[in-house]
Structures are given as C-alpha cells and as structure tokens.
Amino acid sequence: MSTCTAPHTAETGLLEHYVKKILAAPVYDLAVRTPLQAAPALSALLGNQVLLKREDLQPTFSFKIRGAYNKLVQLTPEQKARGVITASAGNHAQGVALAARELGIKARIVMPSTTPDLKVQGVCSRGAEAVLHGQNFPSALAHALQLVETSGCTFVPPFDDPDVIAGQGTVAMEILRQQQGPLDAIFVPVGGGGLIAGIAAYVKYLRPQVRIVGVESQGSSCLLAAMRAGERVVLPSVDGFADGTAVAQVGAYGFEICRDWVDEVITVSNDELCSAIKLIYDDTRSITEPSGALAVAGVRKYVAHHGVQGQTLVAVNSGANINFDSLRYVAERVVAQSAL
C-alpha cells in the first residue's frame, strides 16, 4: 500500500477562507442533502462502524452538481448572458448541463468524438449543446479553450477552481452535522482533488482531529505523486477504468490545501474497486461506478494496514454513472478473485 502522511504545521487562514465560501454556497437550489447511512454488513466485516455518504443519490448521480452550480451562480450577469463552456465526457458535463439549465445559462460541452451516445444524450437531454471534437480528451479540451477565446464564454473547470472546490466542500458540512458523535476518519475519492480539498478545508478548520484520507486508483494516483514530490507532477499515463477520477495532474488550488491538510493517501487496484462495488451493493442494493467505490476500497485497506477497531469511518460514495455493460466485467472480477 502507498501512504503518505503530512505534518499539521500550516496556518488555518486558507481554511477559514474556504469555510466561509462553503457556508455561503447556495447549492441546495439544485443539490439535495444526501443521507449518511450505516453499512451494517461492511461494518461487521471490518470491525469498525462504516457510514456511507450517499452522493450517488444526487440529481445526475454524482456530487459534481454542487461545484458546477456554485461556480455558475457566482458569475456576473454579463458572464451569465454570454454562456459557459466546458470539456468533459463524464459527471462534470452532466453537472454543468443541469446547473446551466437551472440558471438559464447557455452551456456548450466539448466531448471527444469517441464519446458513447449515452453520455452525449445525457448532456443534450439537459438542454446543453454537445460539441463533438477530436479523438481524445486533451484534444477536446484544447478545442474548448479555443472556443473560450473566440466566443467570450466562461470556462468551467472540473476541479481547479475555488468556487468549484467550495461547492464540493458542502459535502463535509453535511457530514459534520449528520455525525456529531465519534468520527475518526473521512475517506474521499480523488481525481483532480476538488472534492477532497473542499472536504479537508471544512473538516480541518472545525474538527482537526478527524483524519482526512484520500483514495486514488493505482493507475491515476496524481495526488500521491504530488505529495511525495512536494509539487504537482504530471503522470506519464493514466488508467481509465475508474473514469471519473482518471486525471494526470492534481489541481493547483486543491493541492494548496491537500499538501498540508490531507493526512494520508491510499491507492487501490481495479480488482479492489470491483470488490468494493459488490460490498456497497450488499449493504445498499445500489450500484456505484468504479470511482464511486474508491472510498470503500480505501476503508478496507486502511483497516487492514493500521489494524484499527471500533472506529467510526465515513466513506464518500461519489457516483453511480456506470454503463450497464460494464457490470459484467465487475461481476467477473469479483468471482475471479474469490476463486483465488
């Protein structure tokens, strides 16, 4: 297992800045307060009380609408009138499309031409314009940035933005209100680091004893790489199984928080993600996407590594946007592992 522990010597001024933004974020115009739910079977298996923060139950089936809405709502009337652009084939695209429709803002989402129809439809059905361009994500992103130049529209980043981070941080505000009793650690899936930065800022300001543990896929562990190097690094390649978190470089705003306030980063394999999807299913009868199961996979590894018992551990179930076809692969990997 790969871990990394940061010392707590930093000033809390930056945290306070974000806590204020989080408290003022009007995300409930669109997002819902999701349950923090007991996972009895998983808790019994691990000898710790495990609670699931059910962000897979949001409209669009992931927490991304929190950040997207908080970003769009803060735009000036002129910026709102000119519209927004983003590049994404995933949960951020759906979040921006829905938030834009809610606010009456015109949204254009650039996606690689290889994007499955289902996801293109997901954007169009929410009233946004899908622009298909290029064979991969970097080429779609380049096109989006070029459109920003020529159109005067505002670019909506998926994670590297203070308003997006503050929107995602509202997840932590709910967790601390929902769990006022014992709380030892919160496990957070990491892609570009927006979600964990918002959660860490809020929790470390108010309850600094609570450990913040990032969980990354072994094939895209850009936060761990940055923590080890002491600076943001670009991963030479990225595995796409956990597509919601397949990011090559952690965001600059997020890393500014994470470098001082994230206690530990755990990485998990794709097989461990498949097992976690089943464990979540056993307790909830809900299916999460691979990135959505990162935190539960991380809890399991953390308990095995540190040998903790009787603790209260929260895992953020971040999303449920899995293609139905992919379930076959997930189920097969679970069977193959249990045969070992």
Catalytic center residues = 64, 318
Q: Pull the structure tokens for residue 1.
A: 């297992």
Residue 319 touching ligand PLP (CB under 6 A): yes
C-alpha to C-alpha distance for 222 and 235, rounded to whole angstroms: 6
User: Under 8 Å CB-to-CB from 63, ≥6 apart: which residues?
Assistant: 31, 55, 168, 171, 195, 316, 318, 319
Residue number with the smallest Cβ distance to ligand PLP = 319
Least separation in angstroms between CB 150 and ligand PLP: 27
Cα-based angle 252, 88, 199 (whole degrees, multiple of 5): 45
Site map 216..245 versus ligand PLP, x via CB under 6 A: ----------------------------xx
Of 110 and 190, which CB lies nearer to ligand PLP in the complex structure?
190
Considering only the stretches 15-23, 77-85, 185-193, 201-209, report the one whose residues sit in contact with ligand PLP under the rule CB under 6 A.
185-193
Q: What are the residues facing 217 on neighbouring strands?
A: 268
Residue 191 touching ligand PLP (CB under 6 A): yes
Least separation in angstroms between CB 318 and ligand PLP: 3
- Alpha carbons within 13 angstroms on the beta-carbon side of residue 91 total 31
C-alpha to C-alpha distance for 39 and 304, rounded to whole angstroms: 18
Which residue of 157, 162, 167, 189 would you call a contact of ligand PLP, by CB under 6 A? 189
- Alpha carbons within 13 angstroms on the beta-carbon side of residue 111 total 27
Residue 190 touching ligand PLP (CB under 6 A): yes
Residues in the chain: 340
Query: Of residues 250-279, which lie at the interface with ligand PLP (CB under 6 A)?
Result: none
Q: Pull the structure tokens for residue 160.
A: 């590297």
Considering only the stretches 70-78, 121-129, 193-201, 258-266, report the one whose residues sit in contact with ligand PLP under the rule CB under 6 A.
193-201
Least separation in angstroms between CB 196 and ligand PLP: 6
Residue 64 touching ligand PLP (CB under 6 A): yes
Of 191 and 298, which CB lies nearer to ligand PLP in the complex structure?
191
Considering only the stretches 18-26, 79-87, 104-112, 190-198, report the one whose residues sit in contact with ligand PLP under the rule CB under 6 A.
190-198
* H or E segment and range at residue 212: strand 211-217
Of 100 and 295, which CB lies nearer to ligand PLP in the complex structure?
295
Amino acid identity for residue 293 in this structure: A
Residue 280 touching ligand PLP (CB under 6 A): no
DSSP string, 291-328: GGGHHHHHHHHHHHHH---S-EEEEEE-B----TTHHH
Residue 266's nearest CA partner among 302, 229, 307, 313 is 302
Of 110 and 315, which CB lies nearer to ligand PLP in the complex structure?
315
List contacts with ligand PLP (CB under 6 A).
62, 64, 91, 159, 168, 189-196, 244-245, 289, 291-292, 318-319
